[in-house]
Structure 1
């Protein structure tokens, strides 16, 4: 195992995960200075550096030890892990944390006019994809034999080009499929950004930095949907207001030394707060309601 004194993380240089990955690290208190070639970011606050690369290169950089960790799509990680298992019999790549952004799904899509019965209707057909290992695994699990056509991009136009009858591709909103007269059917993999690694058993200076990173990630993730709810109310309305609070609310009540009948209530709410819930609280007697974001939590 390679030893070094700084943790190195591979991050997508550009694309749908790039900005969100660096924003998450910033929320965790990590600051970086980018090199002139924009391929490397030196950690200014902690012994953590970033290598800015193509998404598809991240699992390989982790597996070979060039990087210790990587922010990568679960779809890319799972595809390369299956490919390594097929080639070498095993893979050290693993998912350390789900990061809660970049959500999408890898799905089978067929022509809109074709009714979907099940995976058996893929038997003997040509299926275009950029994820041959994941598709092959799905077909194998369902005992289906099909011809996998590997494309590096623009998979959705494969049927129009006559290269395939069906596709297996990433889907977010489904708009691209609809524009190409295709419809989503079976979901092979639900994907999002994940923190990936191959070996976390560090015996050098990276160990405490890794522990700090994981603790801060957990703290940020724990409060991602959390809100702080503040309000004023009369003591006589306290029981009704408590009943109107969301079920997951953790509330505390403060009284004023100047007016014992006037209270302030603050509550940590982990679920989304909509207007109807605020209006219900107001109807129960709450006043001057405020909903504030919670950036981080340290238990």
Structure 2
């Protein structure tokens, strides 16, 4: 049985549980239960605070963990990065009151910076030769300048709306962050085999992201033209129809270019275009 540590609430919890669900790993979410087993896969989920996950994986309490890159770097736990998951993206940034004129990092010399990430901040300040006082605070870091506790803050930024509502503006991005799947270095061979099965499912889900399965009726007289504009994985599937002058073409399109390509197909005489989402894709 493989054990994975997951944040007990918040955006990272939601994104992680969605990934497990899309990979057909059924786990019941319960706020009252610390440890829950999957119904159809040899996996159990351990619900923890996000800042406890890196150490839990490093010490082997959990075999795996899903944690923000910011927490992984801050805790410095000896756990290996198995995969970048591509969701729960944010950044760690320095922000100051918006009315202050900012001309560069030297502004922070002699200032007090409030943060929940002192390790990452200290490394950044040392690297750039900045001498500032770090005030460690948990909770609502963004209110610190407003109540006179600090001159600036170093905190997570996603949309930036929290900074705006507290009359702050972002002036330096220190690091980008996303969800990481981390693992215990001493994981057994048997558990790594289960991990490989889970990663295989994750990859199938990832490959299907922003992809559409497209079927259309196409005139055979323009078939080669139509095929030339289809950026499918390989060659599109072409199926004969009862009408000898027509065929059915099946392919996969990236959503980013979907409307551009569909417009060209219409111009080339394609009809009856049917578009469906893709849940999984195995290459």
TM-score in terms of structure 2 length: 0.91
Paired position in structure 1 for 2:21: 26
Query: What's the offset of the Cα at 1:248?
Result: 6.1
Paired position in structure 1 for 2:271: 287
Separation in 2 of the partners of 1:209 and 1:75? 27
Query: For the structure 1 residues 243 and 44, does the alpha-carbon distance in structure 2 shift closer, same or farther, using more than 3 Å as the test?
Result: same
Separation in 1 of the partners of 2:187 and 2:35? 24
Query: What's the offset of the Cα at 1:292?
Result: 2.0
Query: What's the offset of the Cα at 1:273?
Result: 4.0
Contact 1:255/1:264 (8 A) holds in 2: yes
TM-score in terms of structure 1 length: 0.87
Query: What's the offset of the Cα at 1:119?
Result: 2.0
Query: For the structure 1 residues 8 and 201, does the alpha-carbon distance in structure 2 shift closer, same or farther, using more than 3 Å as the test?
Result: closer
Equivalences, count: 283
Paired position in structure 1 for 2:80: 94
Query: What's the offset of the Cα at 1:226?
Result: 2.2
Separation in 1 of the partners of 2:187 and 2:64? 12
Query: What's the offset of the Cα at 1:30?
Result: 1.4
Separation in 1 of the partners of 2:94 and 2:265? 45
Farther-moved stretch of structure 1 (109-118 vs 149-158): 109-118
Farther-moved stretch of structure 1 (103-112 vs 286-295): 286-295
Contact 2:63/2:187 (8 A) holds in 1: no
4+ residue segments displaced more than 6 Å: none
> What root-mean-square deviation, in Å, do the aligned CA atoms of Structure 1 and Structure 2 show?
2.1
Paired position in structure 2 for 1:50: 45
Map residues 139-288 of structure 1 onto 2, 5 A cutoff.
139-199=125-185, 201-203=187-189, 205-245=190-230, 247=231, 250-288=234-272
Separation in 1 of the partners of 2:156 and 2:232? 34
Contact 1:107/1:168 (8 A) holds in 2: yes
- Where structure 2 has 5 or more consecutive residues not aligned to the other structure, the ranges are none
Contact 1:225/1:271 (8 A) holds in 2: yes
- Secondary structure at 2:214 match in 1: strand
Query: What's the offset of the Cα at 1:120?
Result: 2.3
Query: What's the offset of the Cα at 1:147?
Result: 0.6
- Where structure 1 has 5 or more consecutive residues not aligned to the other structure, the ranges are 1-5, 82-90
Farther-moved stretch of structure 1 (59-68 vs 263-272): 263-272
